[in-house]
Amino acid sequence: MPTPPEPISSIAGLLRRLESHYGKQEPLWPTDPYLFLVWWYCGYPASDATCARGWELLKREIGTEPRQILAASPKDLAHALKPGGMVPELRAMRLKELAARIQDEFGGDLRSALIRPLAQARKILKSFRSIADPGADRILLFAGIAPLPAVASNCPHVLVRILHGHERDNYGVTYREAQEAIAAEVPAKVDARIRAYLQLKRHGQELCKRKPKCDQCPISRSCAYFAGKHRGRGARA
Ligand code: SF4
């Protein structure tokens, strides 16, 4: 019988084991801030799959530059966005708004406008529709502008389960605890934090889902949730 892996005591160790299980992860979305916003509006409800479907047809039929989006008719834009899911007409309007703002307010270069104190950069990003703090942090991290401890908005529970046993009832608290854990242990470097974001996201999508598949998990021996379950209850710090 194979020897079970040793428990891991640090987030760096957890990430190493996740990486040896899933392999190196790459972002599935554009990392330029403007292009990320275009991609984000390509799907609804927004997910990697819906956004990618809308994005592909938009690129092929219209293009992603502000001038191309502004030149397209609302009907053609909505048609290109249709594979991305619901309300393509509304998303077409959002793309037009975005393209107009990028040209008029930012001279066609959103990335350069974000090179400023963090609070101001976040404020700019949050002025775009559907972008709250998690989205703003994700954009700034993946664009290489600031090494923020961003956490995938659909997976903050992963790290909190591992460290504390259960995600909290309040999403905002779970999100903050995941960010604090990354800020405390993952070096404040863009590459290191992107790696943490992508590995924890992948784990949340594959195994540590709402209903986790703990029996297949490569880090179960280091997980407080798993330990609590095997004592007959989930641990809670
Ligand atoms: S053991 Fe279960 S709860 Fe813990 S990280 Fe793995 S899948 Fe998630």
Region 134-143: mean pLDDT is: 97
Question: Considering Cα of 128, then 130, then 133, then 135, what sign does the dihedral take?
Answer: negative
Percentage of the chain surpassing pLDDT 70? Answer: 94
Check pocket membership of 217 for ligand 1, CB cut-off 6 A. Answer: yes
Q: Which of 67-76, 156-165, 226-235 has the lowest mean pLDDT?
A: 226-235
Assess whether pLDDT exceeds 70 at residue 231.
Answer: no
Which tops the pLDDT comparison, 171 or 37? 37
The burial class, CB within 10 Å (0-12 / 13-18 / 19+), for 15 is: buried
Of 127, 95, 100, residue with least CA distance to 114: 127
For residue 220, the ligand 1 atom closest to its alpha carbon is 1
* Per-residue confidence band for 237, with pLDDT thresholds at 50, 70 and 90: very low
- CA dihedral 216→217→223→224, nearest 10 degrees, is -40
pLDDT digits (tens, 9 = 90+) for 160-194: 999 999 888 898 999 999 999 999 999 999 999 99
Check pocket membership of 208 for ligand 1, CB cut-off 6 A. Answer: yes
Distance 26 CA to ligand 1 centre (A): 22
Per the listing, tokens 């299980």 go with 21
Region 67-96: mean pLDDT is: 98
Distance 158 CA to ligand 1 centre (A): 7
What is the overall mean pLDDT for the chain?
93
Check pocket membership of 55 for ligand 1, CB cut-off 6 A. Answer: no
Residue 31 near residue 142, CB atoms below 8 Å: yes
What amino acid occupies position 20? S
Residue 174 and residue 160: Cα distance in Å, rounded? 7
pLDDT digits (tens, 9 = 90+) for 56-68: 999 999 999 999 9
* Per-residue confidence band for 234, with pLDDT thresholds at 50, 70 and 90: very low
Assess whether pLDDT exceeds 50 at residue 35.
Answer: yes
Region 198-204: mean pLDDT is: 98
Tokens of 23: 């392999």
Check pocket membership of 226 for ligand 1, CB cut-off 6 A. Answer: yes
Nearest CA to ligand 1 atom 4: 223
Assess whether pLDDT exceeds 60 at residue 1.
Answer: no
**What's the pTM?**
0.92
Distance 20 CA to ligand 1 centre (A): 16
85 DSSP β-pair partners = 44
User: Residue 164 — φ and ψ, nearest 5°?
Assistant: -120, -15
* Per-residue confidence band for 235, with pLDDT thresholds at 50, 70 and 90: very low
Check pocket membership of 225 for ligand 1, CB cut-off 6 A. Answer: yes
Listed in sequence order, the residues at least 6 apart from 207 whose beta carbon sits closer than 8 Å to its beta carbon are 213, 214, 216, 217
Check pocket membership of 227 for ligand 1, CB cut-off 6 A. Answer: no
Check pocket membership of 161 for ligand 1, CB cut-off 6 A. Answer: yes
